[in-house]
Structures are given as structure tokens and as C-alpha cells.
Structure 1
Amino acid sequence: MSVPASQSPARTSHRRRRTRLAAGVVLLTLATTACSSLGRTSVGTITYSIGPETSVMLTSPKVRGCHKLPPSGTTELYNNTLVDMVMYRTSDCTGKDTTYIGSRLANNVAPKAAPWRSYSFVH
């Protein structure tokens, strides 16, 4: 009795192995994607000034949540991250008086305007 080449045991085994490998890759990709957003960071630096001679540089802050600035706030900020951000005049990321600062952009508060006291990322 002869078996056609397309149904040989070696080919069937090879096909099953490829199917299992593909299924494993799909599952690994799904697991990685699901877990990657848990600790997601903004990737880059945020630099802002506090007073005339002090500046602060933060490296890759978390994307989620409201980030408070010092009580005195800041009047200039450079967003050198890969994520856009929103600046707030309040310390709890609320209110309508906001400023949108895109990725890799800088912004200064207008003279006589209140400083920014918190920020959040757009995600």
C-alpha cells in the first residue's frame, strides 16, 4: 500500500508543528500587549523651571494619572517625550484653563497668568 506524498506522516507532523508555533506566537503577542500598558511610560524627558535658577528634569514619567508640580508651579516646560500632555492651573488636573503641549514641544505661561501646577498625558 502506498501513501500519497501530500499525506505522508512527515508532512503532517511538520504542518502541526508550524500550526502550534503560530498559535504560540499569537498567544505570546496577546499577553505582551495586554501587560505592556500596565507600567507604560512617556519615554523621554520633561524639563520645567521652578523659579529663576532652578530647573527639574524628569525621565520617562508614567503615562497614567495626574502628576503634581511643586506648589509654586512652573511657567515654562519642555516636553521632550513621545506623548502629548495637558497642563493645568490646578494641582489636581481639573478645570477648563488648560494648555495642550504636543510631543517634543515647549511652552511658556503668558506674563501675569497663573502658573501650571499639574499635568497629565494624552493616551
Structure 2
Amino acid sequence: MSVTAPDPRRRRRLGAVAAASLLTLTVAGCSGLGRTAVGPVTYTTDREAVVEVNSPSVRGCHRLAPTGAREVENGTLVDIVLYPTRDCTGGGTTYLATTFTDVAAESGPPWHSYTFVH
């Protein structure tokens, strides 16, 4: 009975296939999870109420209080865009980088919604 040594090229190919399969399974397993912007979005309304939203989803349009917000602090790890409308459309937007705060001008409209830049 003769035993032959395994072919090193075949072993490398099998290793590459196994690694690719594992990576594919990992990505597929995580893709269904709802991605969030880690950290809080904190804002102050016209009535001086402070609202904090922790780790909101990075997808979609997020509405602020019905009266809007005069000051918004982005404590998340993702930049946001502030809108003066309730549906994240139109002009007059402001880009708010992570760890920054924006104060709306008293003469302008308050912020009513935001989206994440991703």
C-alpha cells in the first residue's frame, strides 16, 4: 500500500475556496441586520425640550419634533444632512459632520428632518 503526499497547490486552492466561502457567509449573515449610526442625535426644539435619539438607522428619512429643532448635535459616527422640510426634500439643507453641532438661524426655519450620508 502506497501513500502519496497531498499536492501543495491543491491544498492552497482548497484553502482559498474555504476562505471565500466563509467570507461570503459572513457578509450574507450581516447584510440582513439593520445598520445603525452608533451614537446619539440630540436636538433642542423651539420649546427648549431636549430630545435624544440613540443609534438611529442609517437608512431613510428621520423626522424631528413637529415644531422642529433649532439646535442639532450629531454624536454618531456618521455625517448627516439636515432639512427644513418634514420629508428630507428640497433646498436649504445643512451638512452636519460627526461630533459637530449646528444652530439654525433665528430668522430661518427650524430643522424638521435628517438623513445619514453613507
Does the pair score TM above 0.5?
A: yes
2:103 aligned with 1:93: no
1:33-79: CA deviations, max 9, x gaps? 35545521111111111222x21111111111101112101010110
Counterpart-to-counterpart distance in 1, 2:29 and 2:107: 44
* 2:9 paired with 1:41: no
**Residue type matched to 1:86 in 2?**
V
- Unaligned segments of structure 1, at least 5 residues: none
Question: Equivalent residue for 1:75?
Answer: 70
Q: What is the CA–CA distance in structure 2 between the aligned matches of 1:34 and 1:102, rounded to whole Å?
A: 30
Instruction: Determine the structure 1 residue equivalent to 2:15.
Output: 21
TM-score normalized by structure 1?
A: 0.80
- Residues in 2 aligned to 1:114 and 1:31: alpha-carbon distance in whole angstroms: 47
Please give the residue correspondences for 1:44-59 in structure 2 after superposition, counting only pairs within 5 Å: 44-50=39-45, 51-52=47-48, 54-59=49-54
1:33–1:11 distance in 2 versus 1, CA, 3 Å: same
Q: TM-score, normalised by structure 2?
A: 0.83
Structure with the greater alpha carbon radius of gyration: 1
Give the RMSD, CA atoms, in angstroms.
2.3
Instruction: Tell me the secondary structure at the aligned position of residue 5 of structure 2.
Output: helix
* Structure 2 residues not aligned, in runs of 5+: none
Between structures 1 and 2, the one with greater helix share: 1
Point out the more displaced range, 74-83 or 20-29: 20-29
Which deviates more, 25-34 or 103-112?
25-34
